[in-house]
Amino acid sequence: MNPLYYQATFTNSSPSLRDTPPDVGLEIAFAGRSNAGKSSAINTLTRQNGLARISKTPGRTQMLNFFNLNEQQRFVDLPGYGYAKVPLAVKKQWHQLMETYLIKRKSLCGMILVMDVRHPLTDFDWQMVEWSQHAELPLHIILTKADKLNFGAAKNTLLQVERELSELPTPLTLQLFSSLKKTGVDEIHAALNRLFAARSNNDGS
């Protein structure tokens, strides 16, 4: 059990960096395509069904959504990207918001990249992986909806993705996850602990 994550509370939705909480403490961002199961993953790991809003319409997350864990640690849910049926200009606006956040946010200490296990490593996923490599930002990947495949197929996909990412200069970690079956929760809690602790150790705190 990790009670830190169960006490998460919604803080605010920010359409721009001007409206975000103060850029202090430590923050982990959740990124992923708009139908990858990002909101479900956040709700599952916090044991709060309604914390991150889930919609049958992909792309519901259009702002930076912040969740406090305590005074010094937060999650931020980035805009989903991909299948959302919105005008191209709006998609560009979301992308710019994410890009600005990722470049300028000083409290950002790690990222959780959410991929559908049936459709991993899309162009967007690669963009996020490459950006995290360039920024030397610790990255943990969760392959969601693992319950949609039998265990052997899901494990093979995990190993395939691991092989494709094995040549990257900055190491990353990855796992299978299912919000429906509640599998992989302990693993993601451990990964979040590592991401928060890595920055704390580097800062000497």
- Please write the tens of the pLDDT for every residue from 5-50: 999 999 999 888 889 999 999 999 999 988 899 999 999 999 999 8
Find where tokens 């709700």 sit.
43
Tell me the CATH class for 3-202. alpha beta
User: Residue 88 pLDDT more than 70?
Assistant: yes
Nearest-CA neighbor of 21 among 11, 31, 35, 6? 11
- What is the 3 state secondary structure string of 155-177? HHHHHHHHHHHCCCCCCCEEEEC
pLDDT tens string 156-200: 999 999 999 999 999 899 999 999 999 999 999 999 999 999 876
Could you give phi then psi for residue 142, rounded to 5 degrees? -115, 130
Banded model confidence at residue 59, pLDDT cuts 50, 70, 90: very low
Q: How far apart are CA 47 and CA 7, in angstroms?
A: 9
Domain ranges of the chain: 3-202
Q: What is the pTM of this model?
A: 0.91
